[in-house]
Amino acid sequence: MLENFVREYNINRILLSISGLWPFQSKHVRNSLRTIYLLLEITYYPFEMFLLYDHWGDPQMIFDAGYQFIFTTSFTARALHTIWNQNRLQQLCIAIDKHWDVFTDDVEVRVMKDYSLLSRRFTKLFVVLMILILMILVAVPLTPILLDIVMPFNESRSRSFAVEVEFRVNKDDYFLPIFCYTTAVILAGVNITMGVDCMHIACAAHACSLFAAISKQIENIISKANNNNKPSKYGYHVNMELNPLNEKIIYREYIICLKKHQLAIEFVNILESSFQELSLLLLLLLLANISLVGIRILNVLDQMQQLLKFMLLFTALLFDLLIVCYSGQRLMDESQNIFYRAYAAEWYKFSPRIKSLLMITLYRSNTPCGLKAGKMIPLCIATYAAVVRMAMSYFAAFKSFQE
């Protein structure tokens, strides 16, 4: 089952399976993993509330509690949204698998292969970045213990955790349980983020590949139609009509292209309906977190370990925002390329039947396909720039508040 999908996007299947979000897992394993992951994230909220309540007069603790609360919310929202839209995710995976059996021309397969390779590269880069952040976060609490062994003092060094947390107990006495719990919460959140966001990359890249393949095929068909017109000895096209046999072949090929175009549009509609609510929420959460993490970077400029941690978090936030926005921009560009290919055709050389198909193509592709956050905000590079600009504005406001 899903042989084509597993062949091209197996890394996405593995990432979703780790957190129980792969819709084709066995029901028992899927429900068990989901329960564990959600319990880890949801049970972390009370301790963040304790941190905020007990340190309300400390601006640094407020900012720590704020960005951690947003991270936990984003992890939980990703998991719940994927569970809620499990049927749509199944539809997307099945559609991707079937598309590889429909788009079988050499040109189409080559284009789709290129995009699946691009998707894997983006996915691997994102996974490496998340694992690097995870390693830094896990290493922070262990550093004082290792230093005590390598370079011991007369007294033990003060211990800290990867995240600021308030359990209302002596942290030194309960260091190991707290360390294991916070590490499990971070690990669960990272796994959820990698699975959901990388699946979004894969689906968007596949949608782009469909439009790119169709665009290439339309260009080839139009080129074939132009080459089949017979020029006179003076270089002019005396007979503007195609040979009946060639015209029939080209007409059939164009019909097939239009049907594939319809498949691509339907796939984008499912993709947009699957991620539009989550995309809107992520835009808002990323906007807030970029500002808050930026403030924390200013506070730890003299602490190399903390500075490295927050710089990696800041980079991950910007990269995650880029994933959300760039995928929509690339999809918009590829879908609009079909319009440009058809518009550049020498339509006056075609038969009336092919002209009618050309008009249908222009009409369908005049408005580019794309992804929207909450049916309102188009996901594109302009939105990326707008969110970063707003984040910097909030950063300035938070900075003045802290002072």
Tell me how far apart the alpha carbons of residues 126 and 396 are, in angstroms, rounded to a whole number.
Answer: 29
C-alpha 2/C-alpha 285 separation (Å) is: 34
pLDDT score of 398:
79
The answer to whether 300 touches 178, Cβ cutoff 8 Å, is: no
- 215 lies in some domain: yes
Per-residue pLDDT at 232 = 45
Angle at 122 between CA 119 and CA 125, to 5 degrees: 145
Widest CA span of the chain, in angstroms? 100
pTM over 0.85: yes
Per-residue pLDDT of the chain (403 residues; tens, 9 = 90+): 789 999 999 999 999 999 999 999 999 999 999 999 999 999 999 988 888 888 887 878 888 888 899 999 999 999 999 999 999 999 999 999 999 999 998 999 999 999 999 999 999 999 998 898 888 888 877 776 776 677 766 666 666 777 888 888 887 788 888 888 988 999 999 999 999 999 999 999 999 999 999 988 888 877 776 666 555 444 444 444 556 667 788 788 888 888 999 999 999 999 999 999 999 999 999 999 999 998 888 888 888 878 888 898 899 899 889 888 998 999 999 998 888 888 877 776 777 887 888 888 888 888 888 899 988 899 999 999 999 999 999 888 877 776 6
Is residue 347 in some structural domain? yes
Instruction: Say what the pLDDT of residue 172 is.
Output: 76
CB atoms under 10 Å from CB of 270, counted, come to 17
**Cβ neighbours for 323, distance < 8 A, ≥ 6 positions apart:** 122, 126, 197, 200, 201
Cα radius of gyration (the chain): 27
pLDDT at 236: 46
Number of Cβ within a 10 Å radius of residue 362: 15
What are the residue ranges of helices labelled H in 58-161? 59-84, 86-102, 106-150
CA 93 distance to own-chain centroid: 15
The answer as to whether 231 is a domain residue is no
Number of other CB atoms surrounding residue 241 within 10 Å: 14
- The rounded distance, in Å, linking the Cα atoms of 213 and 235 is 33
For residue 351, is it within any domain?
A: yes
- Return the closest-CA partner of residue 85 out of 276, 217, 261, 232: 276
* DSSP SS3 for 318: helix
The number of distinct structural domains making up the chain is 1
Question: Up-side HSE of residue 228: CA atoms within 13 Å toward CB?
Answer: 19
Domain of residue 203, residue span:
3-225+243-401
- On whether residue 235 sits in a domain, the answer given is no
Spell out where 204-253 has E strands: 230-231, 237-239
List Cα–Cα distances, 208 to 162, 213, 222, 267, 361, in angstroms. 39, 9, 21, 11, 17
Is 236 within a domain? no
The two structure tokens encoding residue 129: 């970045």
